[in-house]
């Protein structure tokens, strides 16, 4: 048994776990989970607490290394520390009970998160899964295991970025991703940098969505096209009419499909 206080001893999970257990801190981390930097005033509003209460919790999260802070003039902007923290939030969301919906606004917000949201810096939710299916259908990606859907594979761990994934670029990758706003040059691997292709097991859909550098570039491209719009202060993103038409034309994605019906080309 490892001796207490000696470097290399047992990991004390309880210290970090306790930081996620507070409602205010959990809401602050969830608000930051899309990778954006937000001021304390916005985070206080998101958590439903006073600015003073939010500042106290931000200080604890900052001290623990779960968030970072950037100064811009007189203002301080907080950002989640990285994708590992976002992955913990996604995993906790999968096993956590849903809060009772006490208003139409709250119910709409929950539905919006499941429909389309950001997972750190890439697209998640039902739309994220549908987009990955569309990329497979159009040959922009190929499943190396012969399974042509984003469904969960044996051994996939719930609600986190997968260590290995069954996808590679397909023969139409340049054309399809280019039409979605990802430059051809971004399809080349960057040795020593962030992996080009990764996949996460989506917590609400329990299927894969695209992550990695390509997933981040794809989200940026869809936002740049004006096909997706961020919800102010929230992780949810909204598909615009232009985005509905564009994704339908390029990927065969139908935004009106139910959760159990991933977008497929007929």
Q: Where are the beta strands (DSSP E) in 106-202?
A: 117-119, 122-124, 141-143, 167-169, 198-201
Task: Give the integer Cα–Cα distance in Å for 50 and 36.
Answer: 21
Task: Tell which wins on pLDDT, 152 or 179.
Answer: 179
Q: What is the pTM of this model?
A: 0.64
Radius of gyration of the chain (CA): 19
pLDDT tens for residues 226-258?
999 997 767 889 999 999 999 999 999 986 543
pLDDT tens for residues 31-73?
888 677 778 887 887 788 898 999 999 999 999 999 999 887 7
CATH class as words, domain 15-81: mainly alpha
Task: Give the integer Cα–Cα distance in Å for 226 and 222.
Answer: 6
β-partners of residue 210 are: 199
What is the 3 state secondary structure string of 46-62? HHCCCHHHHHHHHHHHH
Hey, where are the domains in the chain?
15-81, 114-251
Please determine, for residue 103, whether its predicted confidence score (pLDDT) is greater than 90.
no
Task: Tell which wins on pLDDT, 109 or 196.
Answer: 196
Q: How confident is the model at residue 225 (pLDDT cuts 50, 70, 90)?
A: very high
Residue where the block lists tokens 């004390």: 12
pLDDT tens for residues 105-153?
444 666 787 889 998 899 999 999 999 999 999 999 999 999 999 999 9
Strand 228-230 and strand 237-239: the pairing is antiparallel
């Amino acid at each position: 048994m490892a001796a207490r206080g000696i470097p290399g001893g047992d990991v004390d999970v309880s210290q970090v776990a306790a930081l996620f257990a507070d409602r205010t801190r959990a809401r602050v981390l969830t608000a930051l989970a899309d990778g954006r930097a937000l001021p304390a005033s916005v985070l206080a509003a998101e958590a439903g607490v006073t600015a003073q209460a939010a500042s106290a919790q931000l200080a604890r999260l900052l001290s623990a290394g779960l968030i970072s802070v950037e100064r811009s003039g007189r203002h301080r902007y907080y950002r989640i520390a990285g994708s590992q923290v976002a992955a913990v939030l996604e995993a906790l969301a999968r096993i956590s009970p849903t809060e009772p919906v006490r208003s139409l606004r709250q119910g709409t917000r929950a539905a919006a998160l499941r429909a389309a949201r950001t997972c750190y810096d890439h697209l998640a939710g039902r739309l994220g899964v549908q987009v990955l299916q569309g990329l497979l259908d159009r040959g922009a990606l190929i499943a190396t295991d012969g399974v042509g859907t984003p469904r969960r594979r044996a051994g996939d761990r719930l609600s986190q970025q997968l260590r290995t994934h069954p996808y590679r670029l397909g023969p139409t990758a340049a054309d399809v991703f280019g039409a979605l706003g990802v430059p051809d040059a971004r399809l080349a691997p960057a040795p020593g940098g962030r992996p080009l292709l990764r996949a996460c097991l989506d917590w609400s859909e329990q299927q894969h969505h695209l992550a990695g550098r390509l997933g981040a570039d794809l989200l940026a491209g869809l936002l740049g096209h004006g096909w997706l719009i961020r919800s102010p202060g929230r992780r949810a993103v909204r598909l615009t009419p232009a985005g509905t038409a564009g994704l339908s034309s390029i990927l065969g994605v139908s935004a009106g499909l139910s959760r159990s019906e991933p977008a497929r080309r007929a």
